[in-house]
Amino acid sequence: MNYALVTGGSRGIGRAVCQKLAAMGFPVLINYQSNRDAASETQKIIAEAGGVAELLPFDVCDSEAVDQAIDTWQAAHPDDYIGVLVNNAGIRKDTLMVFMQNQDWQSVLNTTLNGFFYTTRRLLKGMIGHRKGRIINMASLSGLKGQAGQTNYSAAKAALIGATKALAQEIGSRNITVNAVAPGFIQTDMTKDFNEADFKKMIPAGRFGKPEEVAALVGFLASDDAAYITGEAISINGGLYT
Ligand code: NAP
């Protein structure tokens, strides 16, 4: 079976992506860091809709933990492989650079950029061997335009877009596509302390996006129909640019 792994699949955009991929017929591996209840809720929602999902917790920042979790899963599933990877896990630690602590910088870079590297590297050989794969990286509008108070987050997401473009060139001939999705403001825990009434005045669509809308784009990029799209960073932001 061709599985899909979604990092940070317990909540928010990741949960919606898990639901979408399960509805498309992929057995889904729901990764999370610590929120087991939320991950189990994602699994339950998928099962109730007739899909298949397993929990696969690991900290994407921990290279050994990534390898160990995926090695253990692979040993228990010798005939299966992970053909779709959505690098979605992310955090933000916003503050002006003048006040930013080393930990604020490092934790955001670790989660988005190192997490992408460790997880993707582990799964690449399997995709290359199967001559098929889809890698979708959750970037951000902040990584395209930069955002005050988010030098760490903007740097991490811009670097993720650079890595997306480079890897797409490395493995394009192997029938593996690598793309980034760059959402604007989406209604999740990550944005729950933003006042939507203030921010939405800047957004041509007049509202925050829904996780399901991002998941629909990810689902398309994971599908056979998107085989000729690679190395792209696709915005989904209600018309909000610079
Ligand atoms: P969220 O609701 O805060 O959920 C974050 C998810 O990431 C959770 O599943 C969390 O797991 C997981 N996670 C965090 N650190 C992890 C780690 N070290 N290892 C494994 N999993 C980890 O966030 P969201 O809004 O859905 O955002 C998802 C992605 O979209 C992020 O990459 C974010 O930067 C990006 N994004 C979001 C927006 C937005 O407006 N919401 C806009 C642009 C881009 P636990 O549940 O275990 O904590």
Residue 160 lies in a domain: yes
Q: Cβ(2)–Cβ(25) under 8 Å?
A: no
Instruction: Report pLDDT for 141.
Output: 97
Q: What is the mean pLDDT of residues 98-121?
A: 98
Ligand 1 atom 34 nearest Cα: 90
Please check whether residue 8 is in contact with residue 31, taking contact to mean a CB–CB distance below 8 angstroms: yes
Is 126's pLDDT higher than 70?
yes
Does the residue 211 lie in any domain? yes
Residue 80 lies in a domain: yes
Residues whose CB is less than 8 angstroms from the CB of residue 98 and which lie 6 or more positions away in sequence, other chains included: none
The reported pTM is 0.98
Total number of domains in the chain: 1
In a domain, 242, yes or no: no
- The reply to whether 241 falls in a domain is no
Asked whether residue 29 is assigned to any structural domain, the reply reads yes
Q: What is the CATH number of the domain that holds 14?
A: 3.40.50.720
CB half-sphere exposure, 127, CA atoms < 13 A? 26
pLDDT per residue over 61-95, tens digit each? Answer: 999 999 999 999 999 999 999 999 999 999 999 99
Per-residue pLDDT band at 151 (split at 50, 70, 90): very high
Residue 196's pLDDT is 87
Across all residues in the chain, what is the average pLDDT? Answer: 97
35 pLDDT band (50/70/90 cuts)? very high
| Whole-number percent of the chain with pLDDT over 90 | 96
Which tens digits make up the pLDDT trace of 168-226? 999 999 999 999 999 999 999 999 999 888 888 999 999 999 999 999 999 999 999 99
| 186 Cβ below 6 A of ligand 1 | yes
Q: Looking at residue 242, what is its pLDDT?
A: 54
Position 189 scores a pLDDT of: 95
Radius of gyration of the chain (CA): 17
Section 103-129 average pLDDT: 98
Active-site annotation holds for 228: no
Pocket of ligand 1, candidates 32, 199, 217: which has the most ligand atoms within 8 Å of its Cβ, to mutate? Answer: 32
Mutate to test the pocket of ligand 1, among 34, 145, 187, 188 (most ligand atoms within 8 A of CB): 188
Quote the domain boundaries for residue 219. Answer: 2-236
> Is 127 a residue whose pLDDT tops 90?
yes
Q: Phi and psi dihedrals of 71, rounded to 5? A: -60, -45
